[in-house]
Amino acid sequence: MYKFWFIAIFALFSGKAFACSCAGYDIEESYNEYPSVFVGTVEKLETIKKREPGSWFSYYQLTQVTLKLDKVYKGSSDKKMVVTTRPGYGACGFPFKLNQQYAVFAYQDNRDLAVSSCSPTTHTEKRGEHQEEKRLTVLNFLALQNGT
């Protein structure tokens, strides 16, 4: 699990391009460690710029995702949630799509909630056989949890 956190933190703070490599995860352990777990539908996608830590002139881009919450398992029970992610799989970003529903596992990144492709975050509807096992594992696990 420590490998995941190292990769996720490196992905968020590194302004350099690199190939994303994710360690596996245990769904129950992930559920216990992530501060925010919910199912939500993407209402808005925006590209934002953040300043590199310790730099006045160097910026990196993030995708800011606004989701309408359909069910909350952990974290804020507001009607909407905003998370950030790196753009593209190569930077460990998660490829959210407008008007699509996701089961989201978000971690705290300074003041923001963030999502990585290395997390259990997944689409709630079947999208392809290569992601089907992950999707079913996450959704079956969440079905056993008490959410609001």
Nearest CA to 124 out of 108, 142, 147 is that of 142
Which residues touch 118 (CB under 8 Å, ≥6 apart)?
Answer: 4, 7, 8, 11, 20, 22, 23, 25, 92
- State pLDDT tens for residues 104-144: 999 998 888 999 999 999 999 987 787 899 999 999 999 99
Q: Given pLDDT bands bounded at 50, 70 and 90, which one contains residue 11?
A: very low
Alpha-carbon dihedral 92, 73, 97, 20, rounded to 10 degrees: 10
Question: Among the listed ranges 33-47, 51-65, 123-137, which one has the minimum average pLDDT value?
Answer: 51-65
Count the residues in the chain: 148
Mean pLDDT over residues 16-38, rounded? Answer: 84
Q: Given pLDDT bands bounded at 50, 70 and 90, which one contains residue 9?
A: very low
